Amino acid sequence: MKYMIKISNQPKHISSSNFHQHFQNTKAQTPVTILENFNRIKKNINLNIDLTNKSSFPIQAPWTWSPDINTDLLKYNKKTTANSFIVSLFYESVDPLYHDYTLVYTDASKNKNGTGFAIVDGPQVRTFQLPSFSSIFTTEAYALYTAVQSAIQSDYTHTLIISDSLSALVSLKGHHPQNEVIQLTKDLISSSKNIIKFMWVPSHIGIPGNEKADKMANEAVSSTTSSIINKIPNKDLTDEAHKRIIKTWQNHWDSIPASNKLRSIKKIVSKWAYPENASRREQIIINRSRIGHSHITHSYLITKESPPLCDTCKTHISMAHIIIDCPKYSTARFLLNNPRSLEEALSQQNSGNIFKFFKKIDLDKKL
């Protein structure tokens, strides 16, 4: 899934032809392609989002240039410097250096209601929405990309794009950005005859254009008039696909009866880690104790003998009996913190003690 997401927005990728080759699905008895399987999983987890096209080759060699980004205001910590002073420095910088530039402000917002961004170009304000699971970095990157697009389409000869997203600007400055939106932004700038520069400003210090962009970005999230962008980078889609697959898996796991031995002690599907430096034998003992199947409890199924009985209690031997019930091992249970249930005894917190318990009662070789 992760691999398919990564390269499905690269139609010229060397593996693309393999996506349409059929392989035999042993369950359905019907040949399906990797692409069909991928689309089926996307449908099952309701992930119908397009990917942002990856920039195959930079228009201009990335090591020969980088966008002009002014970060002079980074010298001033807004926690220890008066906002009015930083604002005055902003105007002192803009007036002489960018007096003939059109100033365009961008900002992004992400909250429980969704994700969006705004572009403020003088009196003109444009707002946009992205899928709610888009990262704030991607949203900030789209704000820069759309501002560059707008500047080129408006035929501004000189544009200064002002943003408070330092991470997006730093990525834009880099030679090999991984985010597809940043890649496309760099391509737009390098192919344009217009002069487009950037400036970083701290947020919420009273710069009118930045404050307006911030306000409109917050409104963009839930506004019915915001333009919809339904393409996101592969990392955002991969992260969301992973979350939805885990959620689907968890829902299925919750539907399994509690009589299932592993289900009764493990309520969530997240991975349980082994103790640090655990040997292979220790891992086997931990696993077998948790799934409830071991040599001592279930070998009779293979040998076709009667189920084994506890020589102390004369009841069937099971993990629950050994770990919780049998008085023969009561003194050794301190190693498991004297658990009140099997779930507590075999929990993640007790992982390092499970092997010690079975070794103490001399059953570590019989599991």
**pLDDT tens digits, 140-188:** 999 999 999 999 999 899 999 999 999 999 999 998 888 999 999 999 9
**Does position 332 have pLDDT exceeding 90, yes or no?**
yes
CB 336 within 8 A of CB 323: yes
Q: How many CB atoms lie within 10 A of CB 63?
A: 9
The confidence score (pLDDT) of residue 2 equals 75
Structural tokens at position 160: 């200064």
Rounded Cα distance, 216 and 197, in Å: 22
Q: What residues contact residue 349 under an 8 Å CB cut-off, 6+ apart?
A: none
pLDDT for res 56: 57
62-235 has CATH 3.30.420.10 classification = yes
Confidence band of 113 (pLDDT split at 50, 70, 90): very high
42 pLDDT tier (thresholds 50, 70, 90): confident
Residues 56-66: tens digit of each pLDDT:
566 677 777 88
52: pLDDT strictly greater than 70: no
Domain boundaries, the chain: 62-235, 261-360
pLDDT digits 0-9 by tens, 175-232 = 888 899 999 999 999 999 999 999 999 999 999 999 999 999 999 999 999 999 998 8
* φ/ψ (deg, to 5) at 127: -120, 150
- Judged against a pLDDT cut of 60, whether residue 302 lies above it is answered with yes
Query: Which pair of structure tokens corresponds to residue 121?
Result: 């170009």
At residue 116, the 3 state secondary structure works out as strand
Distance CA 302, CA 69 (A): 72
pLDDT at 36: 78
Half-sphere exposure of 108 (CA within 13 A, CB side): 27
Of 142, 167, 282, 267, the closest CA to residue 217 belongs to 142
